[in-house]
Amino acid sequence: SQTFTITVLPGDGIGPEVIEQAVNVLRVIEELEDVSFTLEYARLGGCAIDEDGTPLPQDTLDKARRSDAVLLGAVGGPKWDNNPAHLRPETGLLGIRKELGLYANLRPAFMLDCMVGVSALKEEVVKGVDLMVIRELTGGLYFGEKKRYETENGEVASDELIYHEYEIERIVRRAFEVARLRSKKLTSVDKANVLESSRLWRKVVERVAPDYPDVELRHQLVDSCAMELIRWPKQFDTIVTENMFGDILSDEASMLTGSIGMLPSASLADGNFGLYEPVHGSAPDIAGKGIANPTATILSAAMMLKYSFGLEKAANAIEQAVHTVLNSGVRTGDIADNKDEAVGTKEMADKIIAAI
Amino acid sequence: SQTFTITVLPGDGIGPEVIEQAVNVLRVIEELEDVSFTLEYARLGGCAIDEDGTPLPQDTLDKARRSDAVLLGAVGGPKWDNNPAHLRPETGLLGIRKELGLYANLRPAFMLDCMVGVSALKEEVVKGVDLMVIRELTGGLYFGEKKRYETENGEVASDELIYHEYEIERIVRRAFEVARLRSKKLTSVDKANVLESSRLWRKVVERVAPDYPDVELRHQLVDSCAMELIRWPKQFDTIVTENMFGDILSDEASMLTGSIGMLPSASLADGNFGLYEPVHGSAPDIAGKGIANPTATILSAAMMLKYSFGLEKAANAIEQAVHTVLNSGVRTGDIADNKDEAVGTKEMADKIIAAI
Ligand SMILES: CC(C)[C@H](C(=O)O)[C@@H](O)C(=O)O
Ligand SMILES: CC(C)[C@H](C(=O)O)[C@@H](O)C(=O)O
């Protein structure tokens, strides 16, 4: 029997609650498949600031490096919002991405038929939407040199959007490979009419494209993409883009579905290693109430089974169970039409477990 | 009687067609008000590349500097898409913005009741949307230092997102002033949890805010704003943000209305000088067919009357006329439910003129 070690980072806010349910789902998979999971708990974000004096303790990095994958709840909260940068939860998140080389952020945005009602968009526009935003996660505007200095005329601040050819190449190849397993349509998003980094991006995409002749490639400007995602999202399948553009566009794409409480994400390194987390945040306003939607975290665990452990069958079983439960009308408060009939975190997860 | 000099830049694609109609509207205003307009035609973009060998001829800059405002159609087209950067139409646009100090880009996005049908969003979400995105236009990622060089491991390219305190201050003050004349709600959008330039941006906003105690201020992260614009756009009134973020968010906001063929924009310098242009592009696919929607350019002319000439009454008359015509069901092809009943560019403008 196979054994995988998972570093579990519950994090802050609703993080621990949704993680608990994802772990319950993993326990069920152990019963059904010839596999076992060793869980190593560690801290990231606000809880680590409080306990360890840093958002990314060395112990967390060590555990993550020794494990086969990382499962994260969510980090952040008002308590740490006014801290200096090095004592902020998101600094831990950015740090772990960089330290573990998690350069490929996969963010699916899909619309289940039974959920079209919750979207802000018209049914005919969003029904059947199924797209994947692949965001470069360890370069670009996030990680270039930052400056802050005084001049005679006041302060100046800057950030650098910088890409090396190899950074672009590896994310673009990954995107072509993902697109190949989906409907073979890849849109590369840049701002090549203005940015030098985008011109290099586009050049690398063009150089790499002939290796994937079966994938249909399109270039699109980021402003145009932001529009077209709203006008007719079904024209897109896989989108690949720079870190900052990807931050914006993946959030926009998520919201097309109206149900970000259901969307998972994967952040992959070379090889099989990856960190998996829900797209939603730590939602401090509902933390501890047992009403958070665990679906995104459970689907993140499913992505982990698929991308890091090669357990495609188990991953599909979880996804199917989620669809079945949602189809049957069970809803947590964030996606319920009728808030009175909404179920809690545990009940939602139990239904999913029962359906697996 | 007052006289204003306007530099008219028809540009490329549908530019000349829509400009012709906006000029017709200005001629009508001359008849109705005690005002006259001296028009100076000049070239910008692709037509200037072809005729003058540069997208921004000196003659165009000279004329613009001598005039009270600039009215622009649109620039660009596939013919020039593969040119080197200095021979591309958008380089002319970026150049004229920078040369004329047009740092404040005002991009309204409004939903007329009679147009809710054309939006991709549900009626209850978009009905009554009326927002103004104010984009910093001469700094940030667009104008910072660009680099491109070879290393042993391949090429590297970079762009710098840089802001001086005074650049932030002037756009933010402008935004507070605009918000004050609207519903007194200003959202400042940044990525202060990651970018140093955003931290300076936020600091300047905080410093300036006490001078506008009547305006309610909110800070929002750019990714969150991209989501919230879709989820519930009516929460926004005036939004102010950095150049690149503004490019993306203003296009996203325009598309909420589903009718970008109707949206105008203003790019203002200190004082009363400004450049006015429709939000849409040069639409080469429909150029010369007489079917382009002239409304955005006509409304851009109205913004010019208001912001550069102080002719509020005439501006309102044009806006009212546009509403009247649209309310009566007259539509160009881009916004028509029934394409067979769509009117052409001239007919649309004639109806608007008749309604003034
Ligand atoms: C918390 C923040 C730093 C982070 C990011 O911008 O990458 C988040 O928005 C995300 O998308 O994961
Ligand atoms: C054409 C392009 C350079 C321009 C920009 O990015 O500013 C356009 O998208 C706009 O928004 O006016």
Per-residue pLDDT tens digits for B244-274: 999 999 999 999 999 888 999 999 999 999 9
pLDDT higher than 90, residue A81: no
Distance A243 CA to ligand 2 centre (A): 20
B118 Cβ contact partners less than 8 Å away, ≥ 6 residues apart: B257, B258, B259, B335, B337
B223 lines ligand 1 (CB under 6 A): yes
- Alpha carbon separation from B121 to A262, B44, B126, B226 (Å, rounded): 21, 36, 6, 15
Q: What is the pLDDT of residues A129-146, one digit of tens each?
A: 999 999 999 999 999 999
B5 Cβ contact partners less than 8 Å away, ≥ 6 residues apart: B37, B38, B39, B40, B66, B67, B68
Lookup: tokens for A96: 């772990």
Banded pLDDT at A30 (limits 50, 70, 90): very high
**CA quadruple B47, B48, B54, B55: dihedral sign:** negative
The reported pLDDT for the residue numbered A229 is: 98
Question: What fold is seen in the domain A1-111+259-356?
Answer: Isopropylmalate Dehydrogenase (3.40.718)
* One-letter identity of residue A279: V
To the question of whether residue A201 is assigned a binding role by annotation, the answer is: no
Q: Tell if the CB–CB gap between A163 and B146 is shorter than 8 Å.
A: no
**Are B336 and B330 contacting, i.e. CB atoms less than 8 angstroms apart?**
no
Give the residue, out of B107, B133, B137, B247, with the most ligand 2 atoms within 8 A of its beta carbon, to mutate for a pocket test. Answer: B247
Lookup: tokens for A52: 């360890």
Lookup: tokens for B133: 């995105």
Q: In which residue ranges of chain B is CATH 3.40.718.10 found?
A: 1-110+258-356, 120-257
User: Which CATH class for the B120-257 domain?
Assistant: alpha beta
B194 lines ligand 1 (CB under 6 A): yes
Residue range B53-65: mean pLDDT, rounded: 98
Active site residues of A: 142, 191, 223, 247, 251
Across the interface, which of B147, B158, B230 has its CB nearest the CB of A120? B230
A223 Cβ contact partners less than 8 Å away, ≥ 6 residues apart: A191, B247, B248, B251
3-state secondary structure A80-128: HCCCCHHHCHHHHHHHHHHHCCCCEEEEEEECCHHHHHHCCECHHHHCC
Query: Distance from B301 to chain A by nearest Cα, in Å?
Result: 24
Q: What is the pLDDT of residues B152-167, one digit of tens each?
A: 999 999 999 999 999 9
Q: Give CA–CA dist A93/A44, Å, rounded.
A: 7
Residue range A160-181: mean pLDDT, rounded: 98
Cβ atoms < 10 Å from Cβ of B310? 13
In sequence order, the β-bridge partners of residue B264 are B278
Q: Give CA–CA dist B234/B250, Å, rounded.
A: 15
Q: Give CA–CA dist B355/B339, Å, rounded.
A: 23
Give the residue, out of B44, B56, B81, B94, with the most ligand 2 atoms within 8 A of its beta carbon, to mutate for a pocket test. Answer: B94
CATH of domain B1-110+258-356: 3.40.718.10
Residue range A98-106: mean pLDDT, rounded: 98
Banded pLDDT at A5 (limits 50, 70, 90): very high
The reported pLDDT for the residue numbered A49 is: 98
A12 lines ligand 1 (CB under 6 A): no
Chain B residue at shortest CA distance from A194: B142
Q: Tell if the CB–CB gap between B166 and A153 is shorter than 8 Å.
A: yes
Across the interface, which of A121, A161, A260 has its CB nearest the CB of B158? A161
Only one residue has tokens 């165009």, namely B60
Residue range A16-26: mean pLDDT, rounded: 98
Ligand 2 atom with the smallest distance to the CA of B76 is 1
**Are B327 and B314 contacting, i.e. CB atoms less than 8 angstroms apart?**
no
In this structure, the residue with its CA closest to atom 6 of ligand 1 is: A247
The reported pLDDT for the residue numbered B1 is: 83
The reported pLDDT for the residue numbered B337 is: 82
pLDDT higher than 90, residue A50: yes
**Are A167 and A201 contacting, i.e. CB atoms less than 8 angstroms apart?**
no
Residue range A201-207: mean pLDDT, rounded: 98
Ligand 1 atom with the smallest distance to the CA of A277 is 12
By the 10 Å C-beta count (0-12 exposed, 13-18 middle, 19+ buried), B352 is classed as: buried
To the question of whether residue A258 is assigned a binding role by annotation, the answer is: no
Strands A185-190 and A146-151 come out as unpaired
pLDDT higher than 90, residue A225: yes
- Alpha carbon separation from B316 to A15, A114, A141, A222, B122 (Å, rounded): 52, 46, 42, 34, 29
Residue range B210-227: mean pLDDT, rounded: 98
Output the DSSP codes for B92-131: HHHHHHHHTT--EEEEEEE--GGGGGGSSB-HHHHTT-EE
Nearest CA-CA partner of B259 in B108, B124, B135: B108
pLDDT higher than 90, residue A218: yes
Q: What is the pLDDT of residues A253-312, one digit of tens each?
A: 999 999 888 999 999 999 999 999 999 999 999 999 999 999 999 999 999 999 999 999
What's phi and psi for A221, nearest 5 deg?
Answer: -75, 145
Banded pLDDT at B95 (limits 50, 70, 90): very high
Q: What is the mean pLDDT of chain A?
A: 96
Across the interface, which of A121, A223, A226 has its CB nearest the CB of B121? A121
Q: Tell if the CB–CB gap between B160 and A159 is shorter than 8 Å.
A: yes
Q: In which residue ranges of chain A is CATH 3.40.718.10 found?
A: 1-111+259-356, 120-257
Residue range B5-27: mean pLDDT, rounded: 98
- Alpha carbon separation from B154 to A29, A104, A195, B119 (Å, rounded): 45, 20, 18, 45
Residue range B138-165: mean pLDDT, rounded: 97
**Are B71 and B300 contacting, i.e. CB atoms less than 8 angstroms apart?**
yes
The reported pLDDT for the residue numbered B296 is: 98
- Least confident segment among A50-59, A107-116, A222-231, A338-347: A338-347
